[in-house]
Amino acid sequence: MCNLYSIVSNQQAIRQLAMTFRDTTGNLQPLPGVFPDYAAPIVRNTAEGRELALVRWGMPSSKKALLDAATKRADKLRAKGKEVDFDELLRMEPDSGTTNIRNTVSSHWKRWLGVENRCVVPFTSFSEFNRDAGGDVWFARDESRPLTFFAGIWVPQWTSVRKVRTGLETIDLFGFLTTEPNAEVAAIHPKAMPVILTGPEQLETWMTEPWEVANALQRPLPDGSLKIVARGAKRDPAE
């Protein structure tokens, strides 16, 4: 699972490569470490055209995941002799979000796989954690860390509790797809790697084609396509 990446490319390059028509990010600063539930730049399809925007990382979790979490919390409260309003408990169950999307046949994800909810997520490197390999292991296309994109989806104005202290919030959210790892990533994290788009043609396919065509992009990169560029840091030290 990829829960850490960097984007240190300038926003003009992002706009050009992703053919963006509108930029609402302001003065976009380099982000050598992007963490879950924080805002990061994405290029998303909107009714007004393609937009570069800052959006919170972490799509809504499934109803089952939230139901299971609320049930466990209710059981603990009842064990302490407290009364529980389960409907209210479930409504206010914290959901920090789902960063990675693998099972695209799930009904939870199917509703957001259309072109209107597609986005691409710019990155220059990403990390997979492996304690025995030195902690965070950073991958990029090569040592120069060229601007690249994950295949993502986004949802507008979703209401949920992200953190207990802030209560209900209505915010835009995004996540990106994962798939089987290629050889380089599998040596560090054998379960999955992000879905990476390698060039303008793949980016346009993801942003414009129906799911029956675009889903072919949910595949690992060929072996030899990635390099390990850093180890052991929570932010890519290349900045």
pLDDT in tens, the chain (239 residues): 799 999 999 999 999 999 998 999 999 999 999 999 999 999 999 999 999 999 999 999 988 888 888 899 888 888 888 888 888 878 888 888 999 999 999 999 999 999 999 999 999 999 999 999 989 999 999 999 999 999 999 999 999 999 888 899 999 999 999 999 999 999 999 999 999 999 999 999 999 999 999 999 999 999 999 999 999 999 998 75
Q: Which pLDDT belongs to residue 239?
A: 52
Evaluate the CA torsion angle 52, 210, 34, 226 in order and state its sign.
Answer: negative
Evaluate whether residue 237 is within a structural domain: no
Q: Which pLDDT belongs to residue 27?
A: 92
Q: What is the number of structural domains in the chain?
A: 2
- Pick the last residue of a domain from 69, 94, 119: 94
The residue behind tokens 């675009």 is 214
Same-domain pairing of 80 and 166: no
Same-domain pairing of 90 and 204: no
Same-domain pairing of 111 and 144: yes
Evaluate whether residue 236 is within a structural domain: no
Three-state SS for 17? helix
| CA–CA separation, 174 and 54 (whole Å) | 10
Q: Which pLDDT belongs to residue 118?
A: 98
Of 144, 148, 224, nearest in space to 187 by CA:
224
CB atoms within 10 A of CB 27: 5
- Which bin fits 133, alpha (ψ -120 to 50), beta or left (φ > 0)? alpha
What is the CATH classification number for the domain harbouring 208?
Answer: 3.90.1680.20
- CB of 117 within 8 A of CB of 176? no
**Residue numbers of the domain that contains 86:** 61-94
| CA–CA separation, 54 and 41 (whole Å) | 4
Q: Which pLDDT belongs to residue 62?
A: 87
CB atoms within 10 A of CB 154: 25
Same-domain pairing of 126 and 144: yes
Q: Which pLDDT belongs to residue 106?
A: 95
| CA–CA separation, 137 and 164 (whole Å) | 31
Evaluate whether residue 39 is within a structural domain: yes
The residue behind tokens 């302490």 is 80
Strands (E), the chain: 5-7, 22-23, 31-34, 39-46, 49-57, 100-101, 118-123, 125-130, 135-140, 148-161, 168-179, 193-194, 196-197, 227-231
Same-domain pairing of 67 and 161: no
- Pick the last residue of a domain from 94, 110, 145: 94
3-state secondary structure 223-234: CCCCEEEEECCC
Same-domain pairing of 138 and 85: no
Same-domain pairing of 155 and 120: yes
- Pick the last residue of a domain from 47, 78, 94: 94
The C-alpha torsion from 201 through 45 and 171 to 22, rounded to 10°, is 100
3-state secondary structure 40-57: EEEEEEECCEEEEEEEEE
Evaluate whether residue 85 is within a structural domain: yes
Evaluate whether residue 202 is within a structural domain: yes
